[in-house]
Chains A and B, each alone.
Chain A
Amino acid sequence: MSLSLLAAEAAGNVDAGKAIALALGIGLGSLGAGIGIGNIFGSMIQAVARQPELRGELQGIQWLGFALTEAVVFYGLIGGLLAYVLI
């Protein structure tokens, strides 16, 4: 195999490696956020079941918690994209 073909192959592998790294990073990042968001809504359901009259007050906190947790995925995404572009 000629040298240029080898180089092309190596470049292809680097791209594949990047793709795998990005996918793995996003996947694991989403795992954590998924658990967190599940927790938030689960607790919300429990709280409303126990004290239905507090629903209005709890809703604000619920969405705040949801957005704060959900954002974690996107920090992962931005980190992954940065790594993808820079390396």
Chain B
Amino acid sequence: MRRRSALVLTFLLALTLPQAALAKGEFDPAEEWELHEWVPIHIGPLDLSINKAVAYLLLGALVSCVIGIVFMRVKIGGGPGRRQALGEQIYEIAQTQVAEQGLPTKAIGRWFPYVATLMVFIWTVNMLGFIPLPLSDEKVEIGGVEVPTLAIFAATSTISVTLALALMTWMFTHIEGIRANGVVGYFKSWIPDVPKAMYPLIIPLEILGQFMRLISLSVRLYANMLAGHMLILTFIGLIFVLENVFLAVVAVPAATAFYLFEVVIVVSIQAYIFAALSAIYIGSAIEPEH
């Protein structure tokens, strides 16, 4: 039974990428990031259409809610089972590694939920990006029924998603900074201890630095996920670009190695980094060093 399911899985996996690439005749990895409208929703100038990235985001939100409820809410405290231990481990990482690294003690109560949610949500969306799911624009016929091919795509590999997440952190940083230190006190805390003559040089740099945070926070996550998917796609795609089956001997192990590297290390590290940096930014706005 297990062998049969493994066979079916391999067959399905083999169907996904080659099918998509062969159908086109030529292979362009960038086409994976073209978003087509599935359910067009236009409100005035706003484009709220549901496309591939939105579907992945909704799924990610659902799965991260389920993770939170299953591991940390349902039947907790009876006897420490494996499920509860895992839930506690997630919570502990969020508390000791993320929140306590950046947030001052008085702000943990208010901002712990935000950074912990960021961590779980980004991890889930990243992880969903490496599980082949039937959510793609390509269609394949199986037994006369058109179904979407299995494909890997992460919502976090589109800049709009990561920019929205980064904007949220950025707004909260300034709101909390002003709330804790007052408008004048907060903006004064941007300026480091330097002689007054240096001010014309330092102040524009510091203001620019605040905007650079926004860019670095969003581009880091975006580019990491984009490059990971691009590498895997390109290695598999080499077989079809050069039209040589024997390349698979090199390309498939290389793609598998990159896949494992992404799943084991990058997915978790990026989720952790995004949450930890959010905590550090918010914490440093509440309690400036000088």
Contacts and interface: CB of A to CB of B under 8 A. Distances in A.
B273 A74 contact: no
A71 B219 contact: yes
A66 B219 CA distance: 16
A63 B219 contact: no
Contacts of B227: 74, 77
A75 B223 contact: yes
Contacts of B224: 70-71, 74
Contact of A67 (B97, B101, B219, B273): B273
B98 to A, nearest CB: 9
Interface string B89-126: 00000000100010000000000000000000000000
A60 interface: yes
Interface in B267-286: 269-270, 272-273, 276-277
A69 B39 CA distance: 40
B273 A64 contact: yes
A13 to B, nearest CB: 21
B216 interface: yes
B83 interface: no
A77 B223 contact: yes
B73 interface: no
Instruction: Tell me the interface secondary structure of chain B in the complex.
Output: helix
Contacts of A68: 273
Given A71-B216, A71-B223, A74-B227, A66 B269 contact: yes
Interface string B208-251: 00000000100110011001000000000000000000000000
Given A74-B227, A77-B227, A63 B220 contact: no
Given A71-B216, A71-B219, A60 B101 contact: yes
Given A71-B223, A78-B223, A60 B97 contact: yes
A71 B220 contact: yes
Nearest to B224: A74
B267 to A, nearest CB: 12
A60 B92 CA distance: 13
A45 B263 CA distance: 24
A33 to B, nearest CB: 12
Contacts of B277: 64
Nearest to B98: A60
A63 B272 contact: yes
Interface of B: 97, 101, 216, 219-220, 223-224, 227, 269-270, 272-273, 276-277
5 contacts: A67-B220, A68-B273, A71-B220, A71-B224, A74-B220
Q: What 5 pairs across the A-B complex have the smallest Cβ distances? A: A74-B223, A67-B273, A71-B220, A60-B97, A78-B223
